[in-house]
Amino acid sequence: MASAQIPATSAPLPPSNLPRIAGAVSKGKQREKPIASLLAGATAGAIEGFVTYPTEFAKTQLQFAGRTSTSGNVGVKPVGPIGIIRDTIANKGIRGLYAGCSALVVGNAVKAGVRFLSYDQYKSMLVDADGKLSAPRSLVAGLGAGMTEAVFAVTPSETIKRPQPRYRGLIHGSSQIIRDEGLGGIYRGLLPVMMRQGANSAVRFTTYSAMKQAVQGSAGPSQQLPSTVTFGIGAMAGIITVCT
């Protein structure tokens, strides 16, 4: 009597394939959604612009320090940024420090949104099979993000900073320049801006990623870093970027 044959089942996956599949799954999970990157970057840029605006205001006022003080007295030279801020608050209140703040906040939001969106997209293309990004690849992703930011946000916004009272903002100023000078008018000086922004973003993102990985390694891969720690890492990355 012939023995019953058991139907063949699919062979189990070789153990060597499991890490590769796990890495692919991990890579898919780590990929950021474009809208999330854009919103996170724009929000961070807007907050940064608002918080740091008084220093930008003081820097701008220092350019006119030899001619007039913030109170309007000709020939009175402020003692420095602290003196300018103190003089402005005394004469105009806190709101005086934030005169014209909206334009900088919107500009910062657009720049940071484009920067973070671009970086996450380049990073997702450069990660290895395990979903990790090496320092050289992070440098390339940061370089690409900075150059993309220069094309779509920084160069147009810096172009309309030319003293033209008829410009009422980024969109209005850009449309007027394109109408008067063509598309080339918006992108005058594009190459130097691309080089500057690319270098800044390359250093900033690479430094941030390296420092975060080092701190995460000492804390444990499964432990989430506190917001204060990531804030400190970001601040250090910014300082290193400015100093390099």
Q: How far is CA 136 from the centre of its chain?
A: 19
pLDDT of residue 203: 94
Does the pLDDT of residue 65 top 70, yes or no? no
Which residues 6+ apart lie within 8 Å of 58 measured at CB?
A: 81, 84, 85
> Average pLDDT of 172-178?
77
Note the residue count of the chain: 244
Domain segments of the chain as ranges: 32-243
85-93 average pLDDT score: 88
Q: Which residues pair with 68 in a beta bridge?
A: 74
Distances in whole angstroms, Cα of residue 237 to Cα of each of 30, 153, 243: 22, 22, 10
The more confidently predicted of residues 121 and 4 is 121
For residue 243, the tally of other CB atoms under 10 A from its CB is 7
Choice between 24 and 86, residue whose per-residue pLDDT is larger: 86
Overall average pLDDT of the 56-74 stretch: 64
Strand partners, 74: 68
24 has pLDDT over 60: no
The confidence band for 58, taking pLDDT boundaries of 50, 70 and 90, is confident
Show the tokens assigned to 130: 């395990």
11-20, 79-88, 235-244: range with highest mean pLDDT? 235-244
Question: How many CB atoms neighbour CB 102 within 10 A?
Answer: 13
Q: What pLDDT, in 10s, does the model give residues 183-226? A: 888 888 899 999 999 999 999 999 999 998 888 888 777 788 88
Does pLDDT of 155 surpass 50?
Answer: yes
Can you tell me the distance from the alpha carbon of 208 to that of 241, in angstroms, rounded to the nearest whole number? Answer: 10
Query: Mean pLDDT over all residues of the chain?
Result: 79
Three-class HEC string of 168-213: CCHHHHHHHHHHHHCHHHHCCCHHHHHHHHHHHHHHHHHHHHHHHH
- Taking 60 as the threshold, does the pLDDT of residue 61 lie above it? yes
- Checking if the pLDDT of 26 tops 50, the result is no
Report which of residues 5 and 25 the model is more confident about: 5
DSSP string, 106-164: HHHHHHHHHHHHHHHHHHHHH--TTS---HHHHHHHHHHHHHHHIIIIIHHHHHTTSS-
CB 111 within 8 A of CB 45: yes
Q: Is 102 helix (H, G, I), strand (E, B) or coil?
A: helix
The per-residue pLDDT for 43 is 94
Q: What is the predicted pLDDT for the residue at 109? A: 92
Percent pLDDT > 90 in the chain is 28
* pLDDT at 108 exceeding the cut of 60: yes
Contact partners, residue 150, CB within 8 Å, separation at least 6: 190, 193, 194, 196, 197, 198
Cα separation of 112 and 201, whole Å? 11
Of the two residues 66 and 234, the one the predictor is more confident about is 234
Given a contact cutoff of 8 angstroms between Cβ atoms, the answer to whether 89 and 70 are in contact is no
How far, in Å, CA of 91 to CA of 108, rounded? 28
Q: Is the pLDDT of residue 71 over 60?
A: no
What percent of the chain is predicted at pLDDT more than 70? 75
pLDDT of residue 22: 44
